[in-house]
Amino acid sequence: MVEVFAISRRTLHDEVVQGLRTMLVEGRIPPGAKLNERELCALLSVSRTPLREAIKRMAAEGLVDLLPNRGAVAVKLSETDIIHAFEVLAELEGISGELAAQRITAAEIAEIKALHYEMLASFARKDLHEYYRLNAQIHASINRATKNPVLEKIYRETNARVQSMRFRSNQNEAKWKQAVSEHEQILAALEKRDAVGLRALLVEHLVRKRNAVIELMRAGELRERTVETSPQRQ
């Protein structure tokens, strides 16, 4: 039986956006699939107006393509698209780490440490949904610590289109463990304010992530679930 979102009217827009983003990132709406407004309205317990607003938001974030004669379609990247996106993203993460190490405050480091330990707890529970949410917050927090709004905007837009690939690459147990180990090193370099070291670690982290995504794609192991699977909130 399909579980639906119970959405408060007060936070309707944000809840619909979050619910739709979760389904796209976690592959509940498979890449290349057309977004069925009637099904999504039923799942999210909303009318078409807020849903369409959320779809426009997802298009702006790069998770949805608005195609002539097809409407809204979940973004589907080719191997070449992935290589190009991660090539840029690795450098953006790298420069974010370098600048953050120079500019981050003690309070911001404390916040990232707290997120890191929550993320470790999620890993121990094998809660990939919560793990990814916290993981994404950590990367975004490092990016924000650069105090560079131009870099933040470019990073956010570039990262958006590969979110679903980053999420599903952790379905491989060995690669998930490796990613956790890399995050331990990233946090240590941040605490030391090691700008050069942090940049190198983040670039390597993203290159490994890209390689994991391509490996899974070639093996046909990027598992995709249909929209009928009951969504979880992010």
pLDDT in tens, 57-75: 999 888 899 998 888 999 8
Domain edge (last residue) among 55, 74, 93: 74
Nearest CA among 51, 60, 45 for reference residue 13: 51
SS (H, E, C) 46-78: CCHHHHHHHHHHHHHHCCEEEECCCEEEECCCC
- Single pTM value for the model: 0.79
Domain that holds residue 66: 12-74
3-state secondary structure of 224: coil
When computed from its CA atoms, the radius of gyration of the chain, rounded to whole angstroms, is 18
Tokens 């007060």 identify what position? 10
Do 41 and 70 contact (CB within 8 A), yes or no?
no
Spatial distance between the Cα atoms of 28 and 17, rounded to a whole number of angstroms: 15
Q: What is the pLDDT of residues 189-233, one digit of tens each?
A: 999 999 999 999 999 999 999 998 898 888 875 544 433 333 433
3-state secondary structure of 48: helix
Domain edge (last residue) among 74, 94, 118: 74
Residues 40, 91, single domain; the answer is no
